[in-house]
Amino acid sequence: MNTAASPKADTAPNAAGASIFAPSWYAPLQADADPGGGLPEDDPLSPRLWRNLMAARVFVAGALLALLTTVWWRGGAPVWVPVVVAVWLGLAAVTLALPRPRAPGHAAAPQWLLTVWADLAAFAALQLIAPSGLNVTPLLVWPVLLAAVAGSRLLALGSAAAGSLVLLGAAWLDARGVADTAAWVQAALGGSGLFLIALLANHLAARLVGEHAAALRHQRMARLHARINRHIAGGLTEGIVVTDARAALWWANPAAARILGVPDDAAPNPGTPTALRHTPGWPVLAGWVRGALATADDDDDTAPHTQDLTLPLPGGGQRRVRLRIHPVATHGRLGAAVVFLDDLQVLEQRLHTERLAAMGRVSAAVAHEIRNPLAAIAQASALLLEDDAPPAQRQLLTLIEQNARRIDRTVNDVLEAAHAPAPDTVSPAIALDATVDAVLADWLRQRPQGERLLRRAGAPDARIAFDPEHLRRVLVNLLDNADRHASAAPASLRVETTRDGAHVRLTVWNDGPEIPAAVRAHLFEPFATSQSRSSGLGLYLSRELCQRYHATLTYARAQRDGRWGHAFEVTCPRSS
């Protein structure tokens, strides 16, 4: 788990896109950083470094002007000496206000003419007109250092060469053309030192720039990994909680918040699990984590500790949770712990679903075997209908034949659900309201509802391309579920049809209690049910049937006349 979401990391500026590394001479400040999160990797010069170099240049020029003005005032130097330094100071002040160069550029670029070459020219003039007691040779190091740090290697070597020429020229002028070995050797040593400073400083600056570029790449990769981790952990149904060695909460994903009873609208974003600390289940969980960490081996952070625990919920209920803790040790000491939370009800439902899925495969085999006796029953009924039977017997035989055909279709649907999805089905258009009324009348003869059922027909002329028998199966499944969960109040079960542009909607609503989140997440999955006597195939097969006709079956929590309930909605394209 990425530790960037810990409280220590929350205080760092990385959340805002700034560098998480310690400030350095080459790293830009947050105010200088480009919108992309730092300087480009091929731009070695930060605005802060450029301002510091130019400010140092102004400081050196100001100090030198004060010194040489004092010397001139006392008659130790001609007036041209402070004048040259004053011009250099003004130029330095002007370049301080200019923006930094975006790239080293050519050695003769204007940015270097106003800085490196202007400094060399000023120091060369001082070398020529300064009194003999004043040695300005150390000042030549400054433009060479500036070129090596902020410019290219060619500019650094060129400035060192120019400085060496200034030293050699000054030695020639001092010797008046006479071969003074000591002066020439001193000038040669000074020039060699300038070349050495240029090479070393440029090499070190290039190394630092490379390290800074690598740090920026690693920083962007770390941010990318942190975002990927957050997306992965946020999409898991398993709760994840990260704490320190004292069980102080660092991080939690939304699934952990839901398990601890935090509502979905107040579920925390990853990294800000404030709502978790105020749940009644968190003190119990934190106490268990402290106890588990107290017995953990600091040298072994691979063996998890698992235990089932009952946590209190904000509404007064309880939830059984399976906890699994992984201590994380650093340098032989416990530094953090990762706790995984599983809702035992969800685990049991998953096991139940797997068992029912196995039973479903057996059911498909049984349904295949039902076909033969079912065909025999239908054939016998048809033969008996050919005889001159009394009307009462003919009515019973007709009922047997109709239900045999219905069972045959159900068997076919179960077999199709167990195999690959069927291709798109083309059916004649049927009147939606008339079909719904006919199915509803047939259903009410078996399950009278009285005032409990409210029918609202809002699509009298709408037609849809749907097999009538399949639509009957979908509607009967929805009505049976609504009848099972609705209250006994008037209009607690409603069947509505509406038109919406090119689509029509069939909605079955009931005012039943809220469905648990664990059940709601698997509502349309096969063999997933909260009822002990239900196979869990009704909603799954209904959705499969709807998809054959380019229709959708969805669920939503909806209000009717100020009452909250469950709305199962079939949306079909209109047919001409």
pLDDT in tens, 391-422: 777 788 788 887 887 777 677 766 665 654 55
Q: Which of 139, 144, 168, 166 is nearest to 156 (CA)?
A: 144
Residues 330-352: tens digit of each pLDDT: 666 777 888 999 988 888 877 77
pTM above 0.75, yes or no: no
Residue 575 burial (CB count, 10 A) = 16
What is the predicted pLDDT for the residue at 83? 86
Band (pLDDT 50/70/90 cuts) for residue 28 is very low
Mean pLDDT of all residues in 60-80: 82
Band (pLDDT 50/70/90 cuts) for residue 490 is very high
Residue 282 is inside which H or E element, if any?
helix 281-294
Strands (E), 478-545: 493-500, 503-510
**Percentage of residues of the chain with pLDDT beyond 70:** 78
Q: Which of 265, 333, 326 is nearest to 301 (CA)?
A: 326
Three-state secondary structure call for residue 569 = strand
What is the predicted pLDDT for the residue at 571? 94
Band (pLDDT 50/70/90 cuts) for residue 526 is low
What is the predicted pLDDT for the residue at 454? 93
CA dist 340 to 31, 78, 284, 313, 453, Å? Answer: 40, 83, 15, 18, 46
The alpha carbon torsion through 148, 153, 156, 159 (nearest 10 deg) reads: -160
CB 408 within 8 A of CB 374: yes
Q: What's the CATH superfamily of 429-573?
A: Histidine kinase-like ATPase, C-terminal domain (3.30.565.10)
Within its chain, how far is the Cα of 110 from the centroid?
Answer: 46
Q: Which of 370, 402, 444, 421 is nearest to 541 (CA)?
A: 421
- What is the C-alpha separation between 160 and 145, in angstroms, rounded? 9
Residues 71-115: tens digit of each pLDDT: 788 877 778 888 888 888 888 888 877 777 766 666 667 778 888
Q: Where in the chain is the domain with CATH 3.30.565.10?
A: 429-573
Backbone angles phi, psi at 499, to 5 degrees: -105, 140
**The most confident of 136-140, 327-331, 414-418, 529-533, by mean pLDDT:** 136-140
568 has pLDDT over 90: yes
Q: Which of 117, 148, 136 is nearest to 77 (CA)?
A: 136
Residue 107 burial (CB count, 10 A) = 18
What is the predicted pLDDT for the residue at 418? 60
64 has pLDDT over 70: yes
Mean pLDDT of all residues in 277-286: 88
- What is the C-alpha separation between 495 and 474, in angstroms, rounded? 13
What are 334's strand-pairing partners? Answer: 329
**Percentage of residues of the chain with pLDDT beyond 90:** 14
Residues 353-387: tens digit of each pLDDT: 777 667 667 767 777 778 778 788 878 877 777 77
Mean pLDDT of all residues in 268-276: 61
Residue 31 burial (CB count, 10 A) = 8
User: In three state form, how does the secondary structure of 206-275 look?
Assistant: HHHHHHHHHHHHHHHHHHHHHHHHHHHHHCCCCEEEEEECCCCEEEECHHHHHHCCCCHHHCCCCCCCHH
Residue 199 is inside which H or E element, if any?
helix 181-234
Residues 194-251: tens digit of each pLDDT: 889 888 988 888 888 888 888 888 989 988 888 888 788 777 888 888 888 888 888 8
- What is the C-alpha separation between 291 and 503, in angstroms, rounded? 59
What one-letter code names the amino acid at 457?
A
CATH code of the domain made up of 349-418: 1.10.287
* Token pair for 370: 């039902």
Count of residues in the chain: 576
- What is the C-alpha separation between 255 and 252, in angstroms, rounded? 8
Band (pLDDT 50/70/90 cuts) for residue 555 is very high
Mean pLDDT of all residues in 291-312: 75
Q: Which of 225, 220, 164 is nearest to 197 (CA)?
A: 164
Long-range contacts of 312-321 (CB under 8 A, 24+ apart): 312/280, 312/281, 312/284, 313/260, 313/261, 313/279, 313/280, 313/281, 314/261, 314/262, 314/279, 314/280, 315/261, 319/259, 319/261, 319/281, 319/343, 319/345, 320/344, 320/345, 321/239, 321/259
179 has pLDDT over 90: no
Q: How far apart are the first and last CA of the chain?
A: 56
30 has pLDDT over 50: no
Residues 468-479: tens digit of each pLDDT: 988 998 999 899
What does pLDDT average to over the chain?
Answer: 78
Within its chain, how far is the Cα of 235 from the centroid?
Answer: 10
Q: Which of 11 and 189 is assigned the larger pLDDT?
A: 189
* Token pair for 27: 């790293």
CATH code of the domain made up of 236-347: 3.30.450.20
Q: Where in the chain is the domain with CATH 1.10.287?
A: 349-418
